[in-house]
Chains A and B, each alone.
Chain A
């Protein structure tokens, strides 16, 4: 193999790797991705080690509805993601931080709560979450195989 051939094939390989990486990045960032969830906060709907298919299109165009399960950045730690259900949209009245005191969700925010309300750190702890922190909406569960089910309404 001549030197030119080696150069030619390695630059071709580099191009292929770069393109594949970029297409993967765009798909995961803008279309959809897979998320493995852990923790008890969404039981009984979701359990630890379930793998979910999520999509990023609905949050980008602000078409979220009450009842959707979403993946959002934790307001207190941006490197951590939380999986919760939207229980209030802007203008809705929700149970506030303290029992017996309700509050209205401000503009541009949503109210997130886990289904397992006894064991979930959610909007009842850190307040309404800005919509800019929402990353994706959960579409369905794909693992374990015997529990494949749609999770969007």
Chain B
């Protein structure tokens, strides 16, 4: 009898949980060194960040925010980068095929903070906002690293011209 009620609560609890993770947000482990020094400052201890799905449900991102997105090169992989420029801005690229790029409508320019050790828009170009998965809000683990992630642009990576 208790087995039946257990299965019944699992059957109804799982969709509620999945919906919560899918609409509100979830915690994910950050892999790699591309966002050093903000995330994973030492390569031994990996950070866990809270990714808010709610914050990007209308595809509104701002310059400087850290977002996770589906890699344009591999749909099974998610990457975490900082938004540098939005549609209409002009950026000075680092080793892309054109030196200056105007971001097309519905796209953004993302870069890792660890210049030179990151696979970002300087390789694959502007990314469509439809690939944005979630916004990284804060580091939740390890406890010593607990902090919220501010939307700040690196001083040397500001867009050359900003559309209003």
Contacts and interface: CB of A to CB of B under 8 A. Distances in A.
**A and B found bound together:** yes
Interface of A: 18-19, 21-23, 25-26, 29-30, 62, 73-79, 106-109, 130-134
Interface residues of B, number: 27
A108 B125 CA distance: 14
Nearest to B72: A130
A73 B128 contact: yes
Q: Chain B's interface: helix, strand, loop or mixed, by majority?
A: mixed
Nearest to A129: B128
B131 A133 contact: yes
Query: 6 tightest CB-CB pairs across the interface, nearest first?
Result: A132-B70, A73-B130, A78-B130, A131-B75, A76-B106, A22-B19
Nearest to B56: A78
Interface of B: 12, 15-16, 18-19, 22-23, 58-59, 69-76, 104-107, 127-132
Given A22-B15, A133-B130, A76 B72 contact: no
A130 B75 contact: yes
Contacts of A73: 128, 130
A73 B106 CA distance: 11
A19 B10 CA distance: 12
B15 A74 contact: no
Given A108-B71, A109-B72, A77 B106 contact: yes
